[in-house]
Structure 1
Amino acid sequence: MKRTRPMVMFFQENAGNMSHRLPFLRLVATQLQVPIFALSYRGYGMSEGVPKQPGIMLDAQAALDHLCGRDDVATGRIVLFGRSLGGAVAIHLAAENQGKVAGLIVENAFMSVEDMAAQVLPPLGLVIGSGRPLNWLVTNKWKNIDALPRVTDVPLLLMASRHDEMVPFSQMLRLKDAARANTLEWVEFPDSQHMDAYMTNQELYWPALRDFLAAHVVTRRGTGAGSARGSGGGGAAEEGEGDAAAAASAAARAAAGEAAAARAAAAAAGTADGGGAGAAEGDS
């Protein structure tokens, strides 16, 4: 049986690990009726390594390539969904893989770590931020403001909380202004903070996601058949599994197993730990 529903590839926030996301992923699976592939970054949870930007991007790329190489995943319907730091990962991954990605969803991301530092601690704005002299001190850049305009051929949904206590709402407005996607949708949540829009403004949150998938992803033609159960301990929630518990369990398998697959692929390329950028400063 050919698969017609999207595969949501989820990228988590900075704090905690993928096991802390299972209640949210359970809701995503139930509300959207989609399989989920949840990647645990290196240095997070059970994944080994150090959480540096180049290494995290190697993991994300290896995981996407893994999905695209499977015969049981409709690669024409893979949707990237990132929240906060995960939004940065999703933006950069989409910018490099527009032919492999059917949609990009970004919730409460930031312009860059440099710009975040300047807004959260205003005195730093004198030396750190766009064009400032001490930007070299920030080893983990995550320059979403530069990467997002490169996403032109992938439908884009930006979701922003007006009362975000961690990433100023203005950062998402700047990202919206910078976006150059042929299809751009914007949803803002009037009563929500950084992490709670799916609860405090659920009457806007879930319909926005469903409508985006229905309009730009579900109707696209794709390929792939069979259940989406991972090899090597990996995990996507299966389309045939209707109950949310099974979907959340599969997401847990993804967190524990697919990072190992990503690491193996990166190691095979001779770049197992990336090096370079530092940990994800400034984001939650």
Structure 2
Amino acid sequence: MAARIPRLLLISALAAVTIAQTGCSSLFFYPDNQVYITPDRLDLAYEDVWLDTPDGETLHGWWLPAEGEPRGDVYFLHGNAQNISSHVLNVAWLPEAGYNVFMPDYRGYGRSTGETDLEGALHDAEAGLRWLGERSGNSQRPLYLLGQSLGGALAIALASEWVPRQENPGLTAVIADSSFAGFRAIAREKLAGFWLTWPFQAPLSWTVTDEYEGVDRIGDISPVPIMVIHSVRDGIIPIHHGLALYEAAKEPKQFLRTDMPHAGTFMLPEYQRALLDFMKGSAETVPR
């Protein structure tokens, strides 16, 4: 046993060094380029979208047009694993409800070029929103920013700068579903849950910037309405993260407590209706 303890400490130290060298990026990004399902297999019309980022990457995304006259546009930022083809089911119901959907892949995901990192993903989220603004032109349609899990954290960071700068297009509402209170906060929590990295949870979490912590930024989204969605059954990101975000948000705000697996909110029609009601109410109260 005495000989085994130093060996375990060595393994832990090697794991810590490996994670530190990547800046803990591996905790946030799990991309692949496999095609899981395409919108046409869900009887959805769609267009492939290609857009260039200011730093030279090319992002791939899908534009899902609304059925009939559009009620608004939804900009969807997906979670940290796989790519848009595994996340499309989360928004496949929105075109039938009358909403256009634009969903891009971050760099390194799917058919997008580059390698993933936090700063890059934040740049990609902004580039996608600017593309959507150009696509919409002078349209006065409501615009909703919807992010799930990692996408929710990116959405909060993006909106917290977009709204104070009064950028165009203006946001009608922001929705953060199954998201975490902050990048450094969730990094430390996940590191503490793994025995190899538990001894190094504090110093390793410091390699993650605290510049984009959601609880510090979500208040800057006001007066744009925000909905925070979180499940009591979320085994990936516990509900205390959602509650912390909601507490830090300013009015107008709404909390939707669900009972679904992580990021499985919109599998149930009742939660779809709750989101649609929030979106409709936001469009009626926010001047365009």
Fold match, TM over 0.5? yes
Note the 1:151-230 alignment, pairs <5 A: 151-180=221-250, 182-189=251-258, 191-199=259-267, 201-203=268-270, 205-217=271-283, 222=288
**Which has the higher mean CA deviation after the structures are superposed, 113-122 or 59-68?**
113-122
Greater relative contact order (CA < 8 Å, ≥ 6 in sequence): 1
Q: Provide the C-alpha distance between the structure 2 equivalents of 1:127 and 1:152, rounded to a whole number of angstroms.
A: 37
Deviation (angstroms), 1:66: 2.2
- One-letter amino acid matched to 2:72: P
The residue aligned with 2:219 is 149
Listed as ranges, the gaps of 5+ residues in structure 1 are: 223-284
The residue aligned with 2:108 is 43
**Relative to 1, partners in 2 of residues 1:4 and 1:74: Cα closer, same or farther, differing over 3 Å?**
farther
Runs of 4+ in 1 over 4 A off after TM superposition: 123-128, 139-142, 218-222
Task: Choose from 25, 38, 45 the match for 2:91.
Answer: 25
Equivalent residues of 1:60, 1:89 under 8 A apart: yes
TM-score, normalization by structure 2: 0.66
Does the residue aligned with 1:28 lie in a helix, a strand or coil?
coil
Does the residue aligned with 2:99 lie in a helix, a strand or coil?
coil
Listed as ranges, the gaps of 5+ residues in structure 2 are: 1-68
| Percent sequence identity over aligned pairs | 30
Does the residue aligned with 2:92 lie in a helix, a strand or coil?
helix
- One-letter amino acid matched to 1:188: R
**Relative to 1, partners in 2 of residues 1:14 and 1:75: Cα closer, same or farther, differing over 3 Å?**
farther
TM-score, normalization by structure 1: 0.67
Equivalent residues of 2:146, 2:175 under 8 A apart: yes
The residue aligned with 2:149 is 84
Does the residue aligned with 2:223 lie in a helix, a strand or coil?
coil
Q: Deviations over 1:106-136 (max 9, x none)?
A: 10100123222333343667764xxx55543
Does the residue aligned with 2:126 lie in a helix, a strand or coil?
helix
Task: Choose from 176, 190, 215 the match for 1:120.
Answer: 190
**Relative to 1, partners in 2 of residues 1:73 and 1:28: Cα closer, same or farther, differing over 3 Å?**
farther
Q: Provide the C-alpha distance between the structure 2 equivalents of 1:151 and 1:90, rounded to a whole number of angstroms.
A: 10
Q: Provide the C-alpha distance between the structure 2 equivalents of 1:64 and 1:139, rounded to a whole number of angstroms.
A: 23
Deviation (angstroms), 1:146: 1.5
Q: Deviations over 1:119-157 (max 9, x none)?
A: 3343667764xxx55543236874212221221121101
Q: Provide the C-alpha distance between the structure 2 equivalents of 1:75 and 1:55, rounded to a whole number of angstroms.
A: 30
Does the residue aligned with 1:26 lie in a helix, a strand or coil?
coil
Note the 1:249-268 alignment, pairs <5 A: none
- How many residues align? The count is 212
Q: Provide the C-alpha distance between the structure 1 equivalents of 2:161 and 2:209, rounded to a whole number of angstroms.
A: 21
Provide the alpha-carbon RMSD of the alignment: 2.5
Equivalent residues of 1:155, 1:216 under 8 A apart: yes
Note the 1:58-73 alignment, pairs <5 A: 58-70=123-135, 72=137
Q: Provide the C-alpha distance between the structure 2 equivalents of 1:83 and 1:108, rounded to a whole number of angstroms.
A: 6
Does the residue aligned with 2:228 lie in a helix, a strand or coil?
strand
Q: Provide the C-alpha distance between the structure 2 equivalents of 1:152 and 1:140, rounded to a whole number of angstroms.
A: 21
Question: Which is richer in strand?
Answer: 2
The residue aligned with 2:74 is 8
Task: Choose from 109, 113, 122 the match for 2:179.
Answer: 109
Deviation (angstroms), 1:218: 5.5
